[in-house]
Amino acid sequence: MAEMGKQCSGMDNFSRLPDELVLCIISLLPMKDAVRTSILSSRWRYLYASSSNLDFDLGSNAIDCMDFVDRVFFLRKGCPINRFRLRICCLESRDSCVSRIREWIIAVMQLDVRELELSLDIEVLLLLPPSLFTCETLVVLKLSVCPESGEDGSDESSLKVPANVCLPSLKVLHLVDFTFSDDCRKRLFSNCPVLEDLKCSFKESNWKFIVCNLMLKRLTITSSEYFGGRSEIVVDAPGLDYLELSVWDVYSCTFLSVQALTKANVRFLCHEWDSQDETYKNAVANLMKAISNIQTFHICNSTLFEFNYSGIPIPELNNITHLTIASCEVGFFLELQYILAACTSLETLVLKGAFEYEWHPGEEVGINCLSFCVKKIVILWFEGGEDDIELAKYFLQSAKVLASMEIHIKGGYHDQLEITKELLRLPRASNGCIVDIV
């Protein structure tokens, strides 16, 4: 025992680890903690600079921190980079600072970077280096760069895609808040042969999104609200499994070869005065046809309300087993019944968001899934009002095979105990149903 104590006291096993293993450990630390390891010993003084993962969050003090980033690149001495993240906010309009950012991007390209994430809120237009679009090692590329406003107030393109594009290893591409031409977008997408996850966010109106990719599995398209715009979506992706749309004013929607689609998240809206437009109705019809075979569906109630207001029928969604409805609004109960009537095989229903609906007794329609399929219902943000109680009562009396109802009561109410008592007193069509109040 004494000999063992002697060995332990005279041995620093951690310091005897090889640099390669120590670097693996440092690479798992946040950047600030990795830098702090430099005080441990003279051997550790500069090891953080050779970490395979570099994550710089410069915030609003970007100019003061740029010298530190330069020093890290100087100390690396050519060590490869696995992941490089850079976040900058409110950078002053100085071309010299933007030039340094370009130099960092070029440097990580030369160091065989696999993951590159840039989130830049800057006042000077950043022209990304051409080498970014021909990087053979790049697997993940996430870009969020606020566009520059021209002297006439218009947004100039924040992404210039060169004529020569080849990203043979890229699997994940996220482009947030960009404004770039249809030709640039098409050129970029068509030269990512193994792309699996694509996310695009638009801040302009009248945009056109076209993608044709055999390997694509996840697709997310979002857009801001713009008045008078008429945008277009064309998707040809036979391997697509997940589709997320949160878009305004899309009047042409074409989906080709999306039979593999199993999950969808939809917020598909237009302005009230255009809701009767036949082109908009056709776009909705094409969208609903494309997702007709999905198993998991997430939709916001405002979209359901708009479909109903426009007279757009919801087709039978026979394969859906999990349905989530978010942001419930006025008229919720009527739209809820229509979507439930369409989901003939539904097993799990989640109502997510604050309830501000109107309860209209006597409007009930036949809902087979409540009688034969629905086994679990989750109600989030339950406020305990009269309509909330009526909704819970409706489900408990209608769902004949319901196994559990989970109700999350909104915090901050003095009468939560009374709400709980009232909920537990409600009659149930399913004798085995358990009501869990959270």
Instruction: From 54, 74, 58, select the one nearest 66 (Cα to Cα).
Output: 58
Instruction: From 425, 423, 343, 432, select the one nearest 386 (Cα to Cα).
Output: 423
Contacts by 145-151, CB closer than 8 A, 24 or more apart: 145/118, 145/119, 145/120, 145/177, 145/178, 146/120, 146/121, 146/122, 146/177, 147/177, 147/178, 147/179, 147/203, 148/123, 148/124
**Which tokens go with 236?**
């040809």
Amino acid at 187: R
Against a cut of 0.95, is the pTM above it? Answer: no
- Under 8 Å between Cβ of 233 and 250: yes
Residue with tokens 């064309």: 234
Count of CB atoms situated within 10 Å of the CB of 72: 19
Rounded to an integer, what distance in angstroms lies between the CA atom of residue 122 and that of residue 102?
Answer: 13
Rounded to an integer, what distance in angstroms lies between the CA atom of residue 426 and that of residue 241?
Answer: 40
- Under 8 Å between Cβ of 69 and 56: yes
**Which tokens go with 130?**
């051409």
Amino acid at 156: E
φ/ψ region of 273 (left if φ > 0, alpha if ψ in -120 to 50, else beta) reads: alpha
Provide, for the chain, the percentages of residues in helix, strand and coil under a 3-state DSSP scheme, each rounded to the nearest 5: 30, 25, 40
From first to last of its 438 residues, what are the pLDDT tens digits of the chain? 444 444 444 445 666 666 666 666 666 666 666 666 655 555 665 566 667 788 888 766 666 678 878 877 887 777 788 889 988 876 555 667 788 888 999 999 998 999 999 988 776 667 788 999 999 999 999 998 765 443 344 444 467 788 899 999 999 999 987 777 778 888 899 999 999 999 998 877 788 899 999 999 999 999 877 656 788 999 999 999 999 999 888 888 999 888 899 999 998 887 765 666 788 888 888 898 899 899 999 998 888 877 877 778 788 899 999 999 986 555 567 778 888 889 999 999 999 876 555 555 555 566 888 889 999 999 988 887 787 888 888 899 989 999 999 998 876 555 678 888 888 888 999 989 999 988
Instruction: From 377, 388, 327, 390, select the one nearest 348 (Cα to Cα).
Output: 377
3-class SS of residue 311: coil
Instruction: From 278, 266, 271, select the one nearest 303 (Cα to Cα).
Output: 266
Strands 140-145 and 172-178: parallel
pLDDT at 49: 60
Question: Which helix (H) or strand (E) element contains residue 47?
Answer: none
- Under 8 Å between Cβ of 167 and 134: yes
- Under 8 Å between Cβ of 327 and 356: no
Angle between helices 62-76 and 95-110 (to 10 degrees): 30
Rounded to an integer, what distance in angstroms lies between the CA atom of residue 34 and that of residue 147?
Answer: 33
Rounded to an integer, what distance in angstroms lies between the CA atom of residue 340 and that of residue 323?
Answer: 9
Query: How many contiguous H segments (helices) and E segments (strands) does the chain have?
Result: 12, 18
Exposure string of 172-203, with b = 16+ CB inside 10 Å and e = fewer, is bbbbbbbbbeeebbbbbbebbeebbbbbbbbb
pLDDT at 242: 97
Count of CB atoms situated within 10 Å of the CB of 310: 16
